[in-house]
Amino acid sequence: MSDTDELAVWCAGDEWCPVTTTATLIGRKWHPVIVHRLLEKGPLGFNALESEIDGISSKVLSDSLDDLEEAKLVDREIVSEKPFRVAYSLTERGEDLEDVIEAMAEWGRTHLVPADEEGI
Amino acid sequence: MSDTDELAVWCAGDEWCPVTTTATLIGRKWHPVIVHRLLEKGPLGFNALESEIDGISSKVLSDSLDDLEEAKLVDREIVSEKPFRVAYSLTERGEDLEDVIEAMAEWGRTHLVPADEEGI
DNA sequence: GAAATCTGGTTACATATAGTAATCAACAGT
DNA sequence: ACTGTTGATTACTATATGTAACCAGATTTC
């Protein structure tokens, strides 16, 4: 299976819904944020990525990256064996999520506001 | 708080991230699908909505609708007391998620394909 | 060369969300 | 009286996420 192949997903019922299948892949708390940071910053190591994502723990980041790798949205490359270094980056499929992520960011900027800025 | 007020959300750390906060509201398995169906079909009753969403159970739909109501994305209106009927609909804030949902649908159409159609 | 620090994680445990299946009360229709 | 529809809830199981501590290997600092 090449990088540009479509990912087969089964969906129960008569009608196949692209929103449902997309949501099963990225409809989780941290997945969009991870993709967003990799879009912004390019390839990052594990700790660098963790520092970029405020509020995530190394355990949850590790689990989420496993999911995203399995979904072929993120690539994990071993950059160096000694010392051991890795780089997480987006696949083409992952980069194509830019429109989704940007729409989420725009919605957030319009409809949400940090608690600090409330009532200024 | 009126319907058009911004929803205050706290986010740990120095930088506030609109993607993170948006993802905490809709970054779940069924939330985007529910919003999608209400965008497509307009206001629906509980069972009608359940029928529109293939694979969801009444329990999970009920829980998800509670979340979406609390997030001020969905309104629950009691249409009739006798017989008892309700209508779930999107708030203005919820309708504004259209760009996000449409981007998800487009990504899904491009990168995913139902298992049936594989290798035709 | 011993100690501190950085990298890329794992482990054990607790809580939250999602899935399965059955059930329910209040009607309405026949 | 019986069947079906509406709008759910309940009990239970299974994943997902959160918290905190910890770890080995390598490098840097003294």
> In the predicted model, is pLDDT for residue B106 greater than 60?
yes
Q: Which residue of A has its CA nearest to B92?
A: A111
Cβ-based contacts of A56 with chain B (< 8 Å): none
Residue among A100, A116, A117, A118 with most chain B CBs within 10 A, to mutate:
A100
Q: Is B120 at the interface with chain A, CB within 8 A?
A: no
Cβ-based contacts of B55 with chain A (< 8 Å): 11-13, 20
Residue B96: pLDDT band with limits 50, 70, 90? very high
Contact present, A5 and B48 (Cβ < 8 Å): no
Report pLDDT for A82.
87
**Token output for A48:** 């660098």
Q: What domains sit in chain B, N to C, each tagged with a CATH number?
A: 36-106 (1.10.10.10)
pLDDT digits over A5-61, tens only?
444 444 434 578 999 999 999 999 999 999 999 999 999 999 999 999 999 999 999
* Mean pLDDT of all residues in B72-83: 95
Q: Do A23 and B6 touch (CB under 8 A)?
A: no
Contact present, A11 and B55 (Cβ < 8 Å): yes
Cβ-based contacts of B96 with chain A (< 8 Å): 107, 110-111
pLDDT digits over A62-120, tens only?
999 999 999 999 999 999 998 999 999 999 999 999 999 999 999 999 998 766 555 54
Of B13, B106, B112, the CB nearest to A7: B112
The residue that minimises its CA distance to C1' of D20 is A57
Q: Which residue of B has its CA nearest to A26?
A: B27
> In the predicted model, is pLDDT for residue B10 greater than 70?
no
> In the predicted model, is pLDDT for residue A2 greater than 60?
no
CA atoms of A9 and A88, how far apart (whole Å): 24
Q: Do A8 and B115 touch (CB under 8 A)?
A: yes
Q: Report the Cα B94 to chain-centroid distance in Å.
A: 7
Residue B5: pLDDT band with limits 50, 70, 90? very low
CA atoms of A67 and A95, how far apart (whole Å): 16
Q: Which residue of B has its CA nearest to A107?
A: B97
Lowest mean pLDDT among A6-15, B28-37, B68-77, B81-90: A6-15
